[in-house]
Structure 1
Amino acid sequence: MGKPRSLRGKVIVITGGAQGIGAKTAAALVSHGAKVAIGDLDQVRAEKTAGELGGDTIALALDVTDTRGFTAFLDEVETRLGPIDVLINNAGIMPLAPLDEEDDASTRRQLEINLHAVIHGTREAIKRMRPRRTGHIVNVASMAGKAGFPGAATYCATKHAVVGLSEAVHLELRGTGVYVSCVMPAIVRTELAAGLGEAKMLKSVLPEDVAEAIVGALRKPRFDVYVPQALDAMGRITRLLPRKTGEWITRSLGGDQLLASAAHSTARAGYEARAAGSAPAVDTE
């Protein structure tokens, strides 16, 4: 495409937008003149974030695991702000544990928040955008959607699934005027990364970096959004190598211990407790 698209006046929804990547993305979008709707389980924090951003920003309670509630949330956004131009499926959790130590409740929470909610949000967005032949769906995955990391097997599974979902929907929507972008960041320095160290050769990024990349993909649509961009080249090279060689490189860079070493970190206690209570619609079934 040529000239970058304007985001002024666009109605943009961000799930899990009260803090972290979601909040920084909301701020970046507001600065571009967008009308942003933040959906988050923590309505108090969401309202605080929206109030600080000003403009036409609104905050609504959202449990993404409640599919009917998610649909009603999108309906309310459209009633208050107008037809949705962009949906950013950002809500996600990353509890860490070796798979044999992970309880089934944690597994179900990750599947419901990280995957099922993204599928539902994507489907709802298509239903609203395709008839108007315009729109953009942004699914926030992870570099864990392209590789496996010990200590986060289920998380990796959900993010691989988000990448696959996004790729398939991208092809389904070809020529409809509705774009899909899949965001694959490295470790992002938010609460989710509490207790994690740094990997050799690949530094962590800030939520502002991810926000900037998302804004860039909305202004000039593209599918693959790596943060940092070097992740793309690194992944391509690793996939061309024999498996044993690729795994040796990963171990040499400390990638095999990046998440596993933090699985029992006391620095993660607060985050792990919050993540464990982040899917009430799942836990009350």
Structure 2
Amino acid sequence: MSDFATIAGKVVVITGGARGIGLATATALQALGAKIAIGDIDETTVKESGAARGFDVYGTLDVTDPQSFTDFLDEVERRLGPIDVLINNAGIMPTGRVVDEPDQITRRILDINVYGVILGSKLAIARMLPRGRGHVINIASLAGESHIPGLATYNASKHAVLGFTDTLREEYRGTGVEFSSVLPTLTKTELGTGISLPKLMRPAEPEEIADAIAKLIASPRAKARVTAVAGLIAQVVGLLPQSVGDAIGRALGSQSAFLDDVDSDARKAYEHRVRD
């Protein structure tokens, strides 16, 4: 069982912390005694969320801008001390067929979901290595272990996050710096609005992801999949011959879940925000 007592006093930075998984995680870790800093591109919402919950540091953070990221981490360390944990959570998930995806959206997905994670990890590693301690947790997705029609670029970005994080884990083994990936299924946040999961799976609650992250901080390991059922299905399907795995995916409804079955009206506000 994880010893959550070890979380107390840790300085934790969470990107994309104004809402959804990021905010749920910040709230949960604060309750366990961590010092919390949240950054988000949405200046208004991050200030509202941070002030409402009394987080230690909160402000604007563009994870695609090296200066913005550096300045934010500098401010956190100036006010709270050395960063113990960086959670690279910021990410977007526009849906649709890749042939209809404007190139600016393709680049935006990759800039936030991949480059932002790489940039944040590099900046954190540079600070953590001289201290011989630290933990970088990158929020990937079960989409990073599968292939889901309607999410081609998003899938690619999460495959990249997994490969990147696994490589860092080996590259810095023995340094005292830990690296973990979190692989959520579709979660009940704005990102998942208007989407119904394939059969046999349910959406996760943000608090479930937050709990998995807390357990990783207390007892580091390479990966945490949430939910357990969705993670098991993804792993089992991945071990099967491709034709069999694909057929199972189609039978469960993955072919249409993020395409024809999407409630476009319900999803309109999210799609507009992340594409703007």
Give the TM-score normalised by structure 2: 0.96
2:36 matched residue in structure 1: 36
1:282 corresponding residue in structure 2: none
**2:111 equivalent in structure 1:** 112
Partner of 1:67: 66
Q: Say yes or no: does 1:13 pair with 2:42.
A: no
Superposed CA deviations along residues 249-271 of structure 1, whole A, max 9, x for unmatched, are 10111122221235671211100
What CA distance in whole angstroms lies between the structure 2 residues aligned with 1:237 and 1:273?
35
CA contact (8 A) 2:92 2:191 kept: yes
Corresponding residue of 1:94: 93
Contact 1:139 1:182 in 2 (8 A): yes
Partners of 2:267 and 2:231 in 1: how far apart?
A: 29
Contact residue 150 and residue 257 of structure 1 kept, 8 A: yes
Write out per-residue CA displacement over residues 64-120 of structure 1, whole angstroms, 9 at most, x where no aligned residue. Answer: 111221111111111111110000000000011101000000001001000001000
CA-based RMSD of the aligned residues comes to: 1.5
Q: Identity across aligned pairs (percent)?
A: 46
The verdict on how the C-alpha distance between 1:58 and 1:162 changes in structure 2, with shifts beyond 3 A counting, is same
CA contact (8 A) 1:192 1:271 kept: yes
Aligned residue for 1:226?
A: 225
Gapped runs of 5+ residues in structure 2? none
Query: Runs of 4+ in structure 1 displaced over 6 angstroms?
Result: none
Q: Residues 18 and 49 of structure 1 are in contact (CA less than 8 Å); yes or no, is this contact kept in structure 2?
A: yes
Q: C-alpha offsets along residues 222-280 of structure 1, whole Å, 9 cap, x if unaligned?
A: 11110012333323321222111111110111122221235671211100110012xxx
Contact 2:139–2:183 (Cα < 8 Å) also in 1: yes
Count of residue pairs the alignment pairs up: 276
How many angstroms apart in 2 are the aligned matches of 1:264 and 1:7?
40
* Aligned mates of 2:263, 2:49 — CA distance in 1: 31
Moved more, 229-238 or 198-207: 229-238
Q: Name 1:52's counterpart in structure 2.
A: 52
Residue number in structure 2 paired with 1:80: 79
Correspondence for 2:271: 272
Shift of residue 44 of structure 1? 2.0
> 1: CA distance between counterparts of 2:5 and 2:168?
22
Q: Contact conserved, 1:5 with 1:220, CA < 8 A, in 2?
A: no
Whether the aligned pair in 1 keeps the contact of 2:12 and 2:84 (CA below 8 Å) is yes
Q: Distance in 2 between matches of 1:155 and 1:263?
A: 16
SS at match of 2:136: strand
Residue type of the alignment partner of 1:219:
A
CA drift at 1:199? 1.7
SS class of match (2:91):
coil
In 2, the alpha carbon distance for the partners of 1:276 and 1:66 equals: 18
1:30 maps to amino acid: Q
Q: Is the 8 A contact 1:115 1:161 kept in 2?
A: yes
Q: Give the 3-state SS of the residue equivalent to 1:145 in structure 2.
A: helix
Q: 1:3 to 1:61 in 2, by over 3 A?
A: closer
SS of equivalent residue, structure 1 residue 37: strand
Which residue of structure 2 lines up, in the alignment, with residue 176 of structure 1?
175
Secondary structure of 1:256's partner?
helix
Opposite residue 211 of structure 1, the aligned amino acid is A
- Structure 1 residue 2, shift from structure 2 partner: 8.1
Contact kept, 8 Å, 1:94 with 1:155, in 2: the verdict is yes
What CA distance in whole angstroms lies between the structure 2 residues aligned with 1:200 and 1:83? 45
Distance 1:80 1:196 in 2: 40
Structure 1: gaps (5+ residues): 278-285
**Contact 2:5/2:32 (8 A) holds in 1:** no
Identify the range of structure 1 (233-242 vs 260-269) with the bigger mean alpha-carbon deviation: 260-269
Query: Aligned AA for 1:244?
Result: S
- State whether residues 14 and 39 of structure 2, in contact with CA within 8 Å, keep that contact through their aligned partners in structure 1: yes
* Alignment check: 8 A CA contact 1:151 1:263 kept: no
Q: Partner of 2:255: helix, strand, or coil?
A: coil
Counterpart Cα distance in 2 of 1:274 and 1:116: 20
Deviation, 1:141, is 0.6
Q: Which residue of 2 aligns with 1:23?
A: 23
The one-letter amino acid of 1:265's match is S
